[in-house]
Amino acid sequence: MWDQRAQRARLLAERYQASREILVFYGGLASWQGRIAARDLDSMKCFFPSLLELVIRTGPADLADAARKLDSTQFDQIVHNYWDAPGVFSELEFFARALLQPYASSFPEGLDCPWCRQPPQVGCLHPQGDGLAFTIVCPLCLRRRAFPRTRCPGCDESSEKKLANYSTPEFPHLRLQACDTCRGYLMIVDLSSDPAAIPEVDELAGLPLDLWAIQEGFHKLQPNLAGI
Ligand SMILES: [Zn+2]
Ligand SMILES: [Zn+2]
């Protein structure tokens, strides 16, 4: 799956100039995550230096700066803070998530990770029978679970009048669900429009939609690895 994510990111980077930089970076990161998958937490400590090196070499300037200030001795603090206090924002969140995603995604079916009950990274519509089924994607383990289509995953608002969908011809398989009650928004990837899409990757390509929503006064329910 990590290789598929990396390939998808590289393909989208060719397609969408505006989000090219972050997609190329994510492609390299997903390949790296694939190499460290299926290990326990303690044995992942030895991969921390290679993550810092990757970010310094290929990451956006602010992340590269943060990586230069970190060293292996901070692994426990960064990783355990993120694991033990889900939902609390930290500027080092990127490093914890990059390291922990391969670990959490290998959990057996039915065992939640600490972030499964937090607001989702992205939503996903996929064909089922004659209609579309809706799932939401956990920001850490990246597993999908069913969720009511017409409810805000940020505040549980379900009034049709309060929830609006926005889309643009530039991204035919992406849309935003924005909630007037909590002013949060969720990116939704429609697999009926592009069956090859991978929600947590295609969501990164929708950067121009994010910027529009933020300009309109909404906030993303869950920032992605790019911090948006
Ligand atoms: Zn999870
Ligand atoms: Zn809401």
Ligand nearest to the CA of 117: 1
Q: Are 28 and 58 in contact (CB under 8 A)?
A: yes
Which residues in the chain land under pLDDT 50? none
Q: Residue 101 Cα, ligand 1 centroid: separation in angstroms?
A: 9
pLDDT of residue 49: 94
Per residue in 38-64, pLDDT tens? Answer: 778 878 888 999 999 999 999 999 999
Q: Residue 99 Cα, ligand 2 centroid: separation in angstroms?
A: 29
Q: Are 139 and 159 in contact (CB under 8 A)?
A: no
Q: Are 95 and 78 in contact (CB under 8 A)?
A: yes
pLDDT of residue 45: 86
Q: Residue 12 Cα, ligand 1 centroid: separation in angstroms?
A: 25
Ligand nearest to the CA of 183: 2
Q: Residue 117 Cα, ligand 2 centroid: separation in angstroms?
A: 15
Q: Residue 147 Cα, ligand 1 centroid: separation in angstroms?
A: 14
Question: 116: number of CA atoms within 13 Å, CB side?
Answer: 15
Ligand nearest to the CA of 178: 2
Ligand nearest to the CA of 220: 2
Question: 181: number of CA atoms within 13 Å, CB side?
Answer: 13
pLDDT of residue 179: 98
Ligand nearest to the CA of 86: 1
Give φ, ψ of 169 to 5 degrees: -60, -25
Which residues, listed in sequence order, are joined to residue 187 by a DSSP beta bridge? Answer: 176
Q: Residue 26 Cα, ligand 2 centroid: separation in angstroms?
A: 28
